[in-house]
Structure 1
Amino acid sequence: MRGPAAAVPWGQVARFTVVGGVNTVTFYACYLPLHRLLPYFAAYTAGFALSLVGSFFLNTYFTYRTRPTWKKFLLFPLTQVTNYAVQSAGLVTLVSWLGMNSVAAPLVAALLALPVTFVVSRRILRPPRRPDGASDQPESPPARSGRPA
């Protein structure tokens, strides 16, 4: 009998983590210069918005290996609203309540938001099959027999 851990898509979790790292570097590369010009929360918001589109395409193609659609693109910000809310709460808590440095705090807040963001993004970008069995997932390549064609 297989337990609940067997249902966890570990390959997707690993790819999601890689994409999260790339997205975090992209965000941080935007945040640091803006942090010199703007208050930390405004710089955070601008950096977050700038990295949104890249995150959509990386997660669509690489993490979940599915086709991007306009519907997913329009729904994807909902995943980021969740991510933004969790990260924002973490950022304010870390900086204002716990006194953490505002340069490092966004990285810690991003780590804290990772599990919630994975669950929400998977639901949006890889929805369950429809009752008619149709899906927008790419078709698997045909199985290869050991014989030449």
Structure 2
Amino acid sequence: MRQSSTTSEFMRFVAVGLLNTANYYAAYTLLFLLGLPYIAAHVSGFIIAFVISYFLNCYVVYRVRPTLSKFLKFPLTQVVNMGMQTLLLYILVDRLDWNELIAPLPVLVITVPITYGITRWVLKDKEG
């Protein structure tokens, strides 16, 4: 892949990631404010944003056709991401006493590069 197309793809990934982050944070905040404990709000928000993310990554970022096989593999790529996010969120909130509404933001910034690599590997598998 040429450098410019890789850069363009990464920029689309970042744009979709920002939209997905907004989806996650809106769901997380709403659920937290409705009374869910912050970890339950986090997991629920993650799942909602995750489904949206799959289709945005297929259509917008990697420009590949979504398939059932890729959709079933996609959650596996997020196991490391979800684990890291949850652990970092726990550390920031319970150990370092950060605010529950602010703590998810730096957590997402830390995990983006890892998520890009894993997602690209799964979705572009044998297509490019």
Is 2:65 the counterpart of 1:67? yes
Contact 1:90 1:112 in 2 (8 A): no
In structure 2, C-alpha distance between the alignment counterparts of 1:97 and 1:80, rounded to whole Å: 24
**Cα deviation, residue 95, structure 1:** 1.1
* TM-score, normalising length: structure 2: 0.90
Secondary structure in 2 matching 1:115: helix
Tell me which amino acid in the other structure corresponds to 2:17: G
CA-based RMSD of the aligned residues comes to: 1.7
Change in Cα spacing, 1:103 to 1:34, as seen in structure 2 (3 Å) is same
2:41 counterpart of 1:21? no
5+ long unaligned stretches in structure 2: none
SS of the residue aligned with 1:51?
Answer: helix
SS in 1 for 2:65: coil
In the alignment, what sits opposite 2:7? 10
**Hey, what does 2:86 align to over in structure 1?**
88
Tell me the CA shift for residue 66 of structure 1. Answer: 0.9
Deviation digits for residues 26-66 of structure 1, max 9, x if unmatched? Answer: 11111111102111101111111111111000001111111
1:45 to 40, 43, 47: 43
> Using CA pairs below 8 Å that are at least 6 residues apart, which structure has the higher relative contact order?
2
Which residue pairs with 2:29 in the alignment?
32
Tell me, yes or no, if the aligned pair for 1:23 and 1:55 is still in contact at 8 Å.
Answer: yes
Gaps of 5+ in 1: 1-5, 130-134, 138-149
- CA shift at 1:84, angstroms? 0.7
Aligned residues: 125
Identity of paired residues, percent?
41
**Which has a greater percent of helix?**
2
Q: Which residue of 1 aligns with 2:53?
A: 55
Name the SS for the 2:55 alignment partner. Answer: helix
Residue 7 of structure 1, CA deviation:
9.5
- Aligned equivalent of 2:97: 99
- Runs (4 or more) in structure 1 with deviation over 6 Å come to none
State the TM-score, normalizing by the size of structure 1.
0.78
